[in-house]
Amino acid sequence: MCGVAGIVSLAFEDSLSSKQNLLEAMADSLYHRGPDEAGVYQDGPVGLAHRRLSIIDLSTGQQPMHSADGQVSLVFNGEIFNYIELRDTLKEKGHHFVTSSDTEVIIHLYQEYGLDFVNQLNGQFAIGLWDRARRRYILVRDRVGICPLYYTQHAGLIYFASEIKAIKAALPQKLALNRSALDQIFTFWAPVSPETIFENVYEVSPGQMLVIENGKIDKHQYWDWSFESDSYWTDSEEQLADKLHDLLIDATKIRLRADVPVGAYLSGGLDSSVLVSMIHHYGGVPLRTFSLNFGEAEFDEKSYQSSLINHLQADHSHLLVRNEDIANNFSQTIYHTESPILRTAPVPMGLLSGLVRESNFKVVLTGEGADEVLGGYDIFKEAKVRHFWAQNPDSAFRPLLLKKLYPYLTLPDSDQGTYLKRFFGEALDQPDNIVFSHLPRWTTTSKAKNFYSESLKGSLRDDAKEKMIASLPKRLEQMHPFNRAQYIESKSLMGGYLLTSQGDRMLAKNSVEGRFPFLDHRVIEFANRIPPKYKMKGLNEKSLLKKAMQSYLPKEIIHRHKQPYRAPDMKAMSGDFLGQDLRALISEEALAKGDLFDGKKVKFLLKKADSGKPLSIPESQALVGILSTQVLISQFIDA
């Protein structure tokens, strides 16, 4: 990943010649995203800054980059994986290239196709493009939101950057906490796009283009997830499995294009195992893998990792993460997530990218996105069972099916049906509700709000769930319930948390780029047309993917029960592990000063955690969420 930043006069009237020092400060704040090179450029009403992580065309390709006639200037974070094919096509149309970089391809595409250039790209990207002749500035983000891009408006200027800390470095005023977004995080784990945790700072939403022209900002959604039942594939299951197999091979191979070594993450689950197997069989590069291990058996997947490593004879490195490692790296993690988190899972991912960088790798492929694209999450099974249960809500048997989905949950020894009904029975009388699939999770997470202060409760402007529903397109009502759940998961948790706090930010903090074959838009568009019955047969998740890859993987991986990636939460953030600096941030005095959380309630909750008594899921999420919020405020607002 690289880092991009810039300042643009909204009306294209003011010269930004005096902003050179601000542009340099913005670039400096993004050093971790691109330590190899830096560039700053100012042209009248536009100033651009860039930090480069050199991966393709190491000797040229510096940014900001300009067209031969000087009329188009660009900063770009990410990769265009089909740049070779695009360059060949453009050459046939008469374009001449002076570098071998994918960055230059974007400039020529824009000159050839105008605003439609983005639809030619297969990649992950955040682009800022200045068209001098048309007096037009463009901000555009990749289809699913792999590369981050933020902006704010102040005194007639647009400030944009890959990370909010770069915007903070240039703004004349302090950042302020967005309390509504905080409430959304304590509901969905992430704000509802385009909001962020900071007031008046927004993200360019996934699949969106912003065109700044004639003194206004025009927003255009150039791509979105689409599940149209009248366009389902009519092929047989075997034919679909073969097509998926071929698509994934190509999506993986083009993501191995680099002028530096490329590795892969291996969790031991199906998705990363599929990916590593494809690299081994079709990649044509040495197989180098990296894994996380934990001392506690409930989080560790070492046996499955070893199974595949031995099967493929991979050159492998692993990192053992202890509870004290999570506590010691928590504050640094929040500096990079730039958002509160409700679980500690991002911390080990940041440590793992450190191992990758120490091993002299800049690029890793990961299996992220397979669950959203191909129907793998337990929440999809859960929704399927709940729809079945809703047909007979008084059944004592039907809710017990949910027990099989979460073997790691601690259930009471007796009357488990009542417990499951209380936990998963949310809106059982509303199976046609467009967010039916996600209501139990959101309700559970929302219990952490019991620790809000009265001031925070009274200041909230919007109901978080209503805000989420309002953000969803009306066409969801016509979707199959399974596809509806996929859409919501992809647009909320994946884009707002998994690809940011747990993905890009934990990679970029150590100057590592992640690539995601399952999120190739061709794979997504193919998978969106697969009938739901082939994605999940009964309660067998990702059925078609397993069929497509069954000859490549050991049976114990194909048939293992899905185990989501988790890390120790309050076990790592309490007792002897929680240092005095963090304790001070959630002291009764500090919380009273911030007036967001009830200091007395938090004090008793921390006491319970310190005693070693098990915390409920909402209690654990509350403590991590409160602690990370306080850390964030100390770093970005009070600092």
Residues 506, 81, 194, 626, Cα dihedral to 10°? -10
Q: Are 272 and 557 in contact (CB under 8 A)?
A: no
Amino acid (1-letter code) at residue 529: R
pLDDT-derived band of residue 416, with 50, 70 and 90 as boundaries? low
Token representation of residue 250: 């190509």
Give the CA angle between residues 54, 55, 59 to the nearest 5°. 60
Please report, in angstroms and rounded to a whole number, the separation of the first and last CA atoms in the chain. 27
The stretch 592-607 carries a mean pLDDT of 96
CA distances from 178 to 270, 397, 445, 517 (A): 38, 44, 19, 34
| Percent residues over pLDDT 70 in the chain | 98
pLDDT value at residue 358: 97
Residue 324: its pLDDT value, please?
93
The bridge status of strand 65-66 relative to strand 46-52 is unpaired
Structure tokens at 431: 């199976």
Per-residue pLDDT for 408 more than 70? no
Compute the average pLDDT of residues 370-386: 93
DSSP for 460-496, written as a single string: --S-HHHHHHHHS-GGGGGS-HHHHHHHHHIIIIIII
State the average pLDDT over residues 202-222: 96
| Average predicted confidence (pLDDT) for the chain | 93
User: What pLDDT, in 10s, does the model give residues 115-158?
Assistant: 999 999 999 999 999 999 999 999 999 999 999 999 999 999 99
> Cα–Cα distances in Å, from 541 out to 26, 406, 447, 450, 560?
44, 14, 29, 34, 11
* 486-498 pLDDT per residue, tens: 999 999 999 999 9
Q: Which residue reads 């792999």 in tokens?
A: 146
pLDDT value of residue 569? 87
pLDDT tens digit string along 463-477? 999 999 999 999 999
Residue 630 has a CB neighbour count (10 Å cut-off) of 24
What is the percentage of the chain residues whose pLDDT exceeds 90? 80
pLDDT at residue 34 greater than cutoff 90: yes
Tokens 């992950």, located at residue: 124
Rounded to the nearest 5°, which phi and psi values hold at 292? -100, 140
pLDDT at res. 608: 94
Has residue 518 got a pLDDT over 90? Answer: yes
> Are the C-beta atoms of 148 and 500 separated by less than 8 Å?
yes
* Residue 117 to residue 110: CA distance in whole angstroms: 5
Q: Check whether 104 has a pLDDT greater than 70.
A: yes
pLDDT of residue 148: 98
Distance of alpha carbon 524 from alpha carbon 455, whole angstroms: 43
Each residue's pLDDT tens digit, 537-571: 988 899 999 999 988 888 888 888 777 888 988 78
| pLDDT recorded at residue 414 | 65
- For helices 439-446 and 617-636, angle between their N-to-C axes, nearest 10 degrees: 70
pLDDT at residue 562 in the model: 78
Nearest to 187 by CA among 444, 548, 546, 505: 444
**Residues 86 and 105: beta-carbon distance below 8 Å:** yes
Q: What is the DSSP letter of 366?
A: -
State both tokens at 342. Answer: 């409700």
Residues carrying CATH 3.60.20.10, the chain: 3-221
Query: Given the structure tokens 């090179």, which residue do they identify?
Result: 37
pLDDT tens-digit profile of 244-284? 999 999 999 999 999 999 999 999 899 999 999 999 999 99
The model's confidence at residue 413, banded by pLDDT at 50, 70 and 90, is: low
As a whole number, mean pLDDT of residues 389-402 equals 85
Whether 326 shows a pLDDT value over 70: the answer reads yes
217 contacts: CB under 8 Å, gap ≥ 6: 10, 153, 158, 210, 211
Map residue 516 onto helix, strand or coil: coil
Determine the Cα–Cα distance for residues 524 and 527; give it in Å rounded to an integer: 5
Calpha distance 285→277 (Å, rounded):
12
pLDDT band of residue 410 (cuts 50, 70, 90) is low
List alpha helices for 313-449, DSSP H. Answer: 323-328, 330-337, 346-358, 370-374, 378-390, 416-424, 439-446
Give the model's pLDDT for residue 304. Answer: 85
Q: Which residues pair with 38 in a beta bridge?
A: 51
302/110: higher pLDDT:
110
- Whether the pLDDT of residue 71 is over 90: the answer is yes
Here the tokens at position 126 are 């955040």
DSSP helix/strand/coil, 441: helix
Residue 572, pLDDT > 80, answer: yes
Provide the 3-class DSSP secondary structure of residue 387. helix
Give residue 415's pLDDT band: very low, low, confident or very high (50, 70, 90): low
Q: In this model, does residue 228 exceed pLDDT 80?
A: yes
User: pLDDT value at position 418?
Assistant: 73
Mean pLDDT value of segment 78-106: 97
* Topology classification of domain 3-221: Glutamine Phosphoribosylpyrophosphate, subunit 1, domain 1 (3.60.20)
| Residues whose CB falls within 8 Å of the CB of residue 172, separated by 6 or more in sequence, listed in order | 154, 155
Strand order in the sheet with 136-141: 65-66, 72-80, 123-131, 136-141, 208-213, 216-221
Q: Which two tokens stand for residue 129?
A: 């493009």
pLDDT at 12: 85
In terms of phi and psi (left: phi > 0; alpha: psi -120 to 50; beta: otherwise), the region of 156 is left
Which H or E run includes 211?
strand 208-213
Confirm if 321 and 351 have CB atoms less than 8 A apart: yes
The token pair at 311 is: 């099967």
Full DSSP string of 34-72: -BSEEEEEEETTEEEEEEE---SSSSS--SSEE-TTS-E
Number of other CB atoms surrounding residue 445 within 10 Å: 22
DSSP of 106-153, one letter per residue?
A: HHHHHHHHGGGGGGG--EEEEEEEEETTTTEEEEEE-SS--S--EEEE
